[in-house]
Amino acid sequence: MNGHDFTLAGARLTALPSGALWWADEELLCVSDLHLGKAERHARRGGPALPPYETRDTLLRLADAIEASGAGHVVCLGDSFDDLAAAQALSETVRLMLTRLQAGRRWTWIEGNHDPGPVELGGSHRNVLTTGPLTFRHIAEPGAVGEVSGHYHPKAQVKTRLRRISRPAFLVDGCRVILPAFGTFTGGLRSCSAELSGLMQPDALAILTGSCAHAVPMPR
């Protein structure tokens, strides 16, 4: 799958080029920060009407990732909706897409700072999910071990021979992995920012997403 394999707290994981995390032994696919309904929230607050296709685009990519992996359990790591009102305002088409994706597999919504509370959609709603050695939560907690989180929308910039390339990236060290945002209209925070540099250990890797996953020492 062109992914990058690594081990976290004994769990063998794969960082997929799409930005999703794959745990083969548990058939678990994890995505973070879908921000469904972002364009709608923007319009609701009186901003310009951004192209309303980002929710569909995000879900189509998620569907591809689920189909390609054959996941039995999907974990959405929080900020799945741009806010709770956006979750309520999802169109019938989008609800149908989600229902179809959820059919025949476990589905867990983790709460994020944008969506702190249950939504009227299938699947279980959790603050934190613990499975085997791993803990899934939205925002990384200092000192945690075996932690899978999102929230920061990390991206990393690599200087190649001809140009600098900046992409959404997984950040991985011995204690945690931080996932890039999976949503379509989402910006990013560079790995060299003080917050991310402080959070990650010195030997951390950044795994750049795209058509193929590329691991490099995390740029600081």
Partner 1 sequence: MDLPPQITAWFDRRGWQVHPHQQAMLDRALDPATLLIAPTGGGKTMAGFLPTLAELAPGGHDGLHTLYVSPLKALAADIKRNLRAPVDEIGLPIRIEDRTGDTSATAKKRQRADPPHILLTTPESLALLTSYEDAGRTFAGLKRVVIDEIHALAESKRGDQLMLALARLQTLAPDLRRVGLSATVEDPSAIARLLARHPDPCAILQADPGPAPDISMLETAEQPPWAGGGAAYAVGAVLDQVRQHKTTLIFHNTRAQAEIFFHNLWLANEDALPIGIHHGSLDRVQRERVEQAMVRGDLRAIVCTGSLDLGIDWGDVDLVIQIGAPKNVKRLVQRIGRANHRYNAPSKALLVPANRFEVVECVAALEAAREGALDGEPRGPGPLDVLCQHILIAACAGPFDADTLFAEVKTAGAYADLSRAAFDDCLDFCATGGYALRAYDQWQRLKQRPDGLWQLRDPRTAQRIRMNIGTIIDSDTLKVRLRRNRGGKPLGEVEEAFAASLSPGDTFLIGGQIVRYEDLRELVVEVSRNASRKPKIAVFSGTKFATSTQLSNRVLDMFAQDSWPGLPGHTRDWLALQREVSRLPERGRLLIESFPHDGREHICIYGFAGRNAQQTLGLLLTKRLEETGHAPLGFVATDYATLIWGLDAVVDPAPLFDIDALRDGLDRWLAGNAVMKRTFRASATIAGLIERNIMGPRKTGRQMTMSSDILYDTLLKYDPDHLMMRITRTEALRGLVDFGRIEAMIAGISGIDLLRLNRITPLSAPLFLEHGRVPVAGSAEDRLLAEEAEAVMQSAGLA
User: What does the binding site for partner 1 look like in residue numbers (CB under 8 A)?
Assistant: 39-40, 43-44, 46-54, 56-57, 91, 152-153, 159, 163-164, 184-185, 187-190, 193
Residue nearer to partner 1 on the CB measure, 24 or 89: 89
- Please calculate the CA angle 182-186-125 and round it to the nearest 5 degrees: 50
Handedness of CA 193, 156, 53, 116 (dihedral sign): negative
The three-class DSSP label of residue 194 is helix
Q: Nearest distance from residue 108's CB to partner 1, in Å?
A: 25
Residue nearer to partner 1 on the CB measure, 40 or 111: 40
Q: Report residue 219 CA to chain centroid gap.
A: 20
State the Cα–Cα distance between residues 77 and 211, nearest whole angstrom.
23
Residue nearer to partner 1 on the CB measure, 4 or 155: 155
State the Cα–Cα distance between residues 154 and 157, nearest whole angstrom.
10
State the Cα–Cα distance between residues 43 and 142, nearest whole angstrom.
36
State the Cα–Cα distance between residues 158 and 172, nearest whole angstrom.
16
Q: Nearest distance from residue 121's CB to partner 1, in Å?
A: 19
Look at strands 176-178 and 147-149 and give their pairing.
parallel
Residue nearer to partner 1 on the CB measure, 129 or 200: 200
Q: What is the length of the chain?
A: 220
Q: Give the helix, strand, coil percentages of the chain, each rounded to 5.
A: 20, 30, 45
Residue nearer to partner 1 on the CB measure, 4 or 151: 151
Q: Nearest distance from residue 153's CB to partner 1, in Å?
A: 6
Q: Nearest distance from residue 181's CB to partner 1, in Å?
A: 10
Q: Nearest distance from residue 19's CB to partner 1, in Å?
A: 14
State the Cα–Cα distance between residues 136 and 123, nearest whole angstrom.
16
Residue nearer to partner 1 on the CB measure, 146 or 168: 168
Q: Nearest distance from residue 134's CB to partner 1, in Å?
A: 26
